[in-house]
Amino acid sequence: SGYVTLDIGYKNTGATKSAITFLDGEKGILKYRGYSIEELAEKSTFIEVAYLLIYGELPTADQLKDFQYQLSRHTLVHEDMKKFFDGFPQRSHPMGQLSSLVCAMSAFYPDSLKSNQTAEEVNLSIVKMLAKMSTLVSWIYKKSLGHPYIYPQNKFDYVTNYLHMTFGQRTEQVEIDPVIVSAMNKLLILHADHEQNCSTSTVRIVGSSDSNIYASISAGISALWGPLHGGANQAVIEMLEKIQEDGGDTDKWIAKAKDKNDPFRLMGFGHRVYKNFDPRAKIIKKACDEILEKLGVNDEVLEIAKKLEEVALKDPYFVERKLYPNVDFYSGIIYRALGFPTDMFTVLFALGRLPGWIAQWKEMKENKEPIGRPRQIYVGETDRSYVELDKR
């Protein structure tokens, strides 16, 4: 029809019906498949939550064991994929590497290109995507250090295996601190899904053209890279470091964020949907205090973050606009304490968000949704006649 509703930025447009994640921005509620994020972050593991998001139910002990077994069978990546790592400049951004590597998987696992895949074939693509992502993410980190890649080991669970490939060494067995395993599980759970955000909508819209799983997830990774979305976790730490170098004057930086002639925004503040608080930020702030204490890390940047939050929460500019710390405000401080370099932070967000992207992609396919294709209101020139080059 000729009737088009204009909603730039899709602020009020529902693009799908979904049974995965419930979010109430006014009340600060986030639930995966009906389970509150607070309870899952406290009691569950990342891989259990991945199962819940993708298959709709918490797994039984047998289902979990089988899922873990399937994942560990597929963690190896094709040896030729290592050639990509040789080609990337050592300091190239990990998100650019990740999105390219994930898209390239379609060349190595072409079964994903088959249209009309059976449910078993779709499931195998899902398992491969999840399993191999952890290997790629850890190898990107090893590449940045110039260290040899560590191969996955089937005896470890998903998160431990990832940490082993990241912080392990080739020649000796390195014990992964249980504090780090538990912190990583919590962080990944908190990032696992967030309904129709920018990257997830991208995954669904790319997948709606019947693109394969790797191409769809790769597009989601590209969307997540931006500092207004997942890239905010890197931007927050860079901002806090800048404030620290500048003498720690938080009032000055709050004033900059309020100044409409200054492009600076307080990174890690504000959210499209949460207008009272971000429940993930509440959990992360608490976890951040606990983890830093357990690891014996004293980070000055944490003090600056707390001071910024305190000042901003009292400032009418932020109060009127309902701007609160979001999930990215404190996550980077934990990643830093765990020893990750700043430019790896958004890759860790991607690792966490992967089960959500997969669940949403699968739901979109199962719902047999039509190709995503927004309309527009045309505001350009009408009816012009072509002018020859020598007459322009």
Instruction: List residues with catalytic annotation.
Output: 271, 328
Alpha carbon distance 350, 188 (integer Å) = 9
Per DSSP, the three-state class of 23 is: strand
Long-range contacts of 201-208 (CB under 8 A, 24+ apart): 201/10, 201/15, 203/357, 203/360, 203/361, 204/15, 204/16, 204/360, 204/361, 204/364, 204/369, 204/372, 205/372, 207/361, 207/364, 207/365, 208/364, 208/369, 208/370, 208/371, 208/372
- Nearest residue to ligand CMC by CB is 270
Nearer to ligand CMC, 258 or 294 (CB): 258
Interatomic CA distance for residues 65 and 59, integer angstroms? 9
**181/354 with CB nearer ligand CMC:** 354
Q: How many secondary structure helices (H) and strands (E) does the chain include?
A: 17, 3
Rounded to whole angstroms, how far apart are CA atoms 37 and 35?
6
| Residue 72: Cβ within 10 Å count | 18
The Cα–Cα gap between 30 and 7 comes to 25
Give the whole-angstrom CA distance, residue 242 versus residue 135: 33
- Could you identify the residue written with the tokens 């949704």? 369
CB of 221 to ligand CMC, least distance (A): 13
Q: What residues make contact with ligand CMC under the rule CB under 6 A?
A: 194, 197, 228-230, 232, 257, 265-272, 321, 323, 326-328
Smallest separation (angstroms) from ligand CMC to the CB of 254: 9
Q: Residue 191, class by beta-carbon neighbours within 10 Å (0-12 exposed, 13-18 middle, 19+ buried)?
A: buried
Shortest CB 336 distance to ligand CMC, Å: 17
For ligand CMC, the closer of residues 28 and 230 by Cβ is: 230
Nearer to ligand CMC, 143 or 191 (CB): 191
Q: How far is the CB of 323 from ligand CMC (least distance, A)?
A: 5
- C-alpha span between 351 and 67 (Å, rounded): 17
Cβ count near 227 (within 10 Å)? 16
User: C-beta of 241: minimal distance to ligand CMC in Å?
Assistant: 16
Please report how close the Cβ of residue 192 comes to ligand CMC at its closest, in angstroms.
12
> What dihedral do alpha carbons 208, 213, 214, 218 form, nearest 10°?
50
Cβ atoms of residues 165 and 76 within 8 Å: no
